[in-house]
Structure 1
Amino acid sequence: MQIYQVSLPASHNSRYHLYPGTARAWLNRLRLVFGAALAFLMIFIGVQPSPVQASVPESPVPLRLILNDWTSQLVMTRILGEVYQTHGYKVEYKLVSTKDQWARLHRGLEHIQVEVWEGTMAHDLEKIKVHGQVIEAGDHSAKTREEWWYPEYAEELCPGLPDWTALRDCAALFASPDTAPRGRYVAGPWEKPERARIRALDMDFVLTPAKTADDLWIELARASEIKQPIVLFNWSPNWVENRYRGKFIEFPSYAPECETDPAWGINPRRLYDCGNPKDGWLKKIAWHKMSVTWPCAYAILQDMDFTNAMISEVAAFVDADGLTDEEAAEKWLGENRAIWQSWGKNSCD
């Protein structure tokens, strides 16, 4: 075997000598060379090195969460914020209308919206997604619905319910002194084509809108106390289903043509001769840079998942039991530790 001698730079006394610093430098160079060669070999044979886990929180910038003006969204946002704080994140809350939230998410002024409804927000969400600044972080298991609703005891007087034709035939049972002999439908404070539906389906009802969502529940409580038939706007998930037994009216099934083509449906002369969509989605959305700025926080948002029953429960803590949004969030967190501690577990540990 032939041995090759490597000549090293001479020192000031012309002797071949390695100072400790020089030796360390050569060792570091060898480590770099062998490390690069090993990485290349691993990639060549298909073995990927393990990713380096970033520390949490990944950024000192606060996570800014949108608060809307209905109970379940407020409580669920507080729940997520508290979970983030247990991971060391700074959290800020911003009360924003559903109309204004899209531009703020688009610009990164706010980062998260935990409860986006298909029935009222699908159009705006699709418009803003075109610009690529807002991303979907997954759907909740909950399915949404917005429709006419009645307490179950009304079926004793109108046995054909929840079919819409039974409601039409029983209209006088739902009358009030102001509407008799026509029935009274208590609509929500939001603009919806309810009057067009009444005309298209020849419903003998007068629409009386509530000024606020709370006014709906006042009407429901008053009627339920004396078992008076009432039909009103309701939605699911909502606290009402946690505390009252009732059902949605089953109108003719919805199709997009119901809103655009008078010839479609049972009334060939009018639009809106159908009910609202059923089984709508409930999404979580985020600013598009969230997944790279706070990957752990984004994973937590993705794993956050509420069912109809869970959402109705947290809303009932406020609307039925009188807790504040913050108190309701704390109550839920205390009773469901195993659930929220699992959010982001595979990405944040």
Structure 2
Amino acid sequence: MKGYAAALGAVSFAVTAGMANAADMGDVDKPIRLAVNEWTGQHVTTHIAGEMLKAAGYKVEFVSAGMMNQFQAIADGDIHATLEIWSSNVSDDYANKVSEGTVVELGDLELNAREGIAYPAHVAELCPGLPAWEALKACAPLFASAETLPAGRLVDYPADWGTPGADRMTGLDLPFKAVPAGSEAALIVELRASTERKTPLLVTFWQPHWAMSAYDVKFVDLPAGEDACFTDPAWGPNPNAINDCDFAASRIFKAGWSGLADTWPAASEILMNYTLAVEDQQPMMGAVDVDGGKVEEVVAAWMAENEGKWRPVVDAAIK
């Protein structure tokens, strides 16, 4: 994957009319604590935001936090912002905290994202009929493992990311058992092994991710993820279940502590106006996960080479 590090494309940072008036810096002696969740893309997203805050004159701390259980810490002010929340995989706790006013949304990150049930391209030769989801009914035994027999095996997201893959298997009445991966890295190990050995594999996966290109990953064609699918069993191919469809279109957004804007007005403005393009994030993910670079170094290199793309957001907030 040589070349990922050099292929850092244009990033999309929104500079809006509302940013014309500089905001107060606030408490510059108090560190702003940013949540670092479990996947590489989020690390890239968060470190770019952190470097922008540092460039503005703030102190920043990066805090490891589980994606599904970070919102209490944000509500308590122990963590001040989280920069990459996927609408398809967010806990009810988030909505509860927003409703009570202890967590506030900071706007869209604007990544062009998709989630779904997926497979390396070679699997279509083993299971004729793919990418149509109906093909999985007849092919399920090919995907079976010792722990799932006689059902096929779906490698789902790690347990603390939720169970979206399992929900699809149940909703579509497919003879598969969802087995949670231990981590994002474990999902990649599965994709690599399947590609190298040309063995069957079905996974829950997402883009942006460097592995989509590296392992020629394809999405299964599922019925469109309309709102009714998730509430009305009568909708869709299975009249007895909800979730008999694809994932809903993913919205990726940011959120923070309710005291963020009062404590650090300019920082709040920077984070609210920060967006990131898939074309930018995905190569940086590859530079980390494929080329072996450190997140901090990869982000620092991009910041140095692309100051004209992020500096206006910082300057508009502080000058």
Change (3 A) 1:254 1:303: same
In the alignment, the residues of structure 2 paired with residue 342 and residue 227 of structure 1 have an alpha-carbon distance, to the nearest angstrom, of: 48
Q: Does 1:62 align with 2:28?
A: no
Q: Does 1:241 align with 2:241?
A: no
Structure 1 counterpart SS, 2:134: helix
The 5 Å alignment of 1:15-30 reads: none
In the alignment, the residues of structure 1 paired with residue 75 and residue 149 of structure 2 have an alpha-carbon distance, to the nearest angstrom, of: 49
Letter in 2 for 1:189: P
Equivalent residue number for residue 45 of structure 2: 76
Equivalent residue number for residue 313 of structure 1: 283
In the alignment, the residues of structure 2 paired with residue 120 and residue 52 of structure 1 have an alpha-carbon distance, to the nearest angstrom, of: 35
Q: Deviations over 1:261-297 (max 9, x none)?
A: 433322223333222212x111111223322332222
Equivalent residue number for residue 117 of structure 1: 86
Equivalent residue number for residue 35 of structure 1: none
Aligned partner of 2:235 among 264, 273, 280: 264
**Aligned-CA RMSD value:** 2.8
Structure 2 counterpart SS, 1:89: coil
The 5 Å alignment of 1:112-191 reads: 112-121=81-90, 123-158=92-127, 160-175=129-144, 183-190=152-159, 191=162
8 Å CA contact 1:301–1:343 kept in 2: the answer is no
Q: Does 1:304 align with 2:274?
A: yes
Aligned partner of 1:332 among 287, 302, 309: 302
Structure 2 counterpart SS, 1:119: helix
- More deviation, 188-197/218-227: 188-197
Equivalent residue number for residue 14 of structure 1: none
Change (3 A) 1:103 1:249: same
Structure 1: give runs of 5+ residues left out of the alignment. Answer: 1-50
8 Å CA contact 2:118–2:202 kept in 1: the answer is yes
Q: Deviations over 1:147-192 (max 9, x none)?
A: 2111223334445322211333443554557767754322222241
Q: Deviations over 1:290-327 (max 9, x none)?
A: 22332222222122211223232222222222223322
Shift of 1:136: 1.7
8 Å CA contact 1:154–1:229 kept in 2: the answer is yes
Aligned partner of 1:290 among 248, 252, 260: 260
The 5 Å alignment of 1:187-226 reads: 187-190=156-159, 191-192=162-163, 194-195=165-166, 197-226=168-197
Shift of 1:131: 1.9
Structure 1 counterpart SS, 2:104: strand
Shift of 1:221: 0.6
Equivalent residue number for residue 11 of structure 2: none
Structure 1 counterpart SS, 2:188: helix
8 Å CA contact 2:228–2:235 kept in 1: the answer is yes
Letter in 1 for 2:196: E
- Identify the structure with bigger relative contact order (alpha carbons < 8 Å, sequence gap 6+): 2
- More deviation, 281-290/195-204: 195-204
Change (3 A) 1:171 1:64: same
8 Å CA contact 1:240–1:312 kept in 2: the answer is no
TM-score computed with the length of structure 1 as normaliser: 0.75
Letter in 1 for 2:310: W
Shift of 1:130: 1.5
In the alignment, the residues of structure 2 paired with residue 54 and residue 208 of structure 1 have an alpha-carbon distance, to the nearest angstrom, of: 48
Q: Does 1:89 align with 2:58?
A: yes
In the alignment, the residues of structure 2 paired with residue 288 and residue 324 of structure 1 have an alpha-carbon distance, to the nearest angstrom, of: 32
Identity of aligned residues (%): 35
In the alignment, the residues of structure 2 paired with residue 329 and residue 70 of structure 1 have an alpha-carbon distance, to the nearest angstrom, of: 15
8 Å CA contact 2:158–2:182 kept in 1: the answer is yes
How many residue pairs match? The answer is 298
Shift of 1:128: 1.0
Shift of 1:61: 1.9
8 Å CA contact 1:239–1:311 kept in 2: the answer is no
In the alignment, the residues of structure 1 paired with residue 156 and residue 23 of structure 2 have an alpha-carbon distance, to the nearest angstrom, of: 50
**Greater Rg, structure 1 or structure 2?**
1
In the alignment, the residues of structure 2 paired with residue 212 and residue 255 of structure 1 have an alpha-carbon distance, to the nearest angstrom, of: 29
Change (3 A) 1:246 1:343: same
Change (3 A) 1:123 1:196: closer
Q: Deviations over 1:40-62 (max 9, x none)?
A: xxxxxxxxxxx995665663222
Equivalent residue number for residue 23 of structure 1: none
Structure 2 counterpart SS, 1:344: helix
